[in-house]
Structure formats: structure tokens, C-alpha cells
Amino acid sequence: MKKEDIPQDDGALNKLTKEVVYAVDNSGNYTTELSTGWDVKSTALDAAWEDIEQRIAHARQKVLHHEASPILYFIELRLMDIGIVAAYTGFWKWTVKQHLKPAVFKKLSDTKLQQYADVFNVSVEELKSMNVHED
């Protein structure tokens, strides 16, 4: 792509950041330039965020219907998976899977709840209620 052909479309992130792309300058040499975005990429990102929002909503419904513990909701909200949560808490993966069960979650000690709360950057009360107050 030539330097003058770099897309400068408004994207979801253009007010926050610019993307570094490679382009060919007038001399035929590769150089780096900044791009504010590209419509195709913006559309793909929007679709990905819609999918994430649906996963969060689905996890919330599972918790409200007592099919999962609030840990599932926060895993989705924080874009994590069981392996990441296990690594940050120090619990085994199978232990985290057990804690996803509502009956097991209700019996967790305050210490274990605090470990999860720290990982998800919420209070224990917010963890239990799924009411998150973001700054």
C-alpha cells in the first residue's frame, strides 16, 4: 500500500489511538505511518463487541436463573477464561469450574471470595450482587 492510500476512516478507536501501518513511500521504501482506522476493520470490531455483549448478557441470565455463579458473569465481563482466572487466583482450573456452580459458590469463604474480587477488580459485595461500579 502506498503512503497516500493509507485508510483514514473514522473507527471505534480513532479518538483514543491510532494504528501503525506499513506503507511504501515515494522512493519505494517501506515506512511506518499512522492510520485512524478502516471501515472494514471497524465493522469487524463492532461485530466482535456485539458478540462479547451477548456473552455477558447470557452469563448474567445464567446467574439470575441459578445455573451459574457470579464468577461466570465476571469472567465474561473481564474478557477472561477459566485458565486466566485460575492463574490469577492460584486455584486449580477444576476448582474454578467447581466455583462456577451456585451451590458451591454460596459456601466459599470470605478469603476465597476476596481472591476472586481482587482478580475482577470489584468488592466482594459487587462480586456477589453483580452490581459493578466502574470509574
pLDDT higher than 80, residue 75:
yes
Beta-bridge partners for 22:
32
What is the torsional sign of CA 124, 129, 132, 87? positive
The CA–CA distances, whole Å, from 57 to 5, 54, 112 equal 40, 5, 25
Averaged pLDDT for residues 55-78:
97
The CA–CA distances, whole Å, from 127 to 8, 95, 97, 108, 123 equal 41, 18, 16, 12, 6
Maximum pairwise Cα distance, the chain: 68
pLDDT higher than 80, residue 52:
yes
Q: Write down the domain spans for the chain.
A: 3-37, 47-129
pLDDT in tens, 104-129: 999 999 999 999 999 999 999 999 99
Averaged pLDDT for residues 60-76:
97
CB 19 within 8 A of CB 53: no
CA 84 to chain centre: 12
**Dihedral class, residue 79 (left if φ above 0, else alpha if ψ from -120 to 50, else beta):** left
How many degrees, rounded to 5, is the angle at CA 12 between CA 6 and CA 15?
Answer: 80
Task: Please tell me which residue, 68 or 38, carries the higher pLDDT value.
Answer: 68
Task: Please tell me which residue, 39 or 57, carries the higher pLDDT value.
Answer: 57
* Residue whose cell numbers read 462456577: 100
Averaged pLDDT for residues 72-86:
97
Averaged pLDDT for residues 72-95:
97
CB 8 within 8 A of CB 33: no
Residue 57 contacts by C-beta under 8 Å, 6 or more apart in sequence? Answer: none
Predicted TM-score of the model (pTM): 0.76
Architecture of the domain whose range is 47-129: Orthogonal Bundle (1.10)
pLDDT in tens, 2-44: 777 776 777 666 667 777 888 888 888 888 888 777 777 778 8
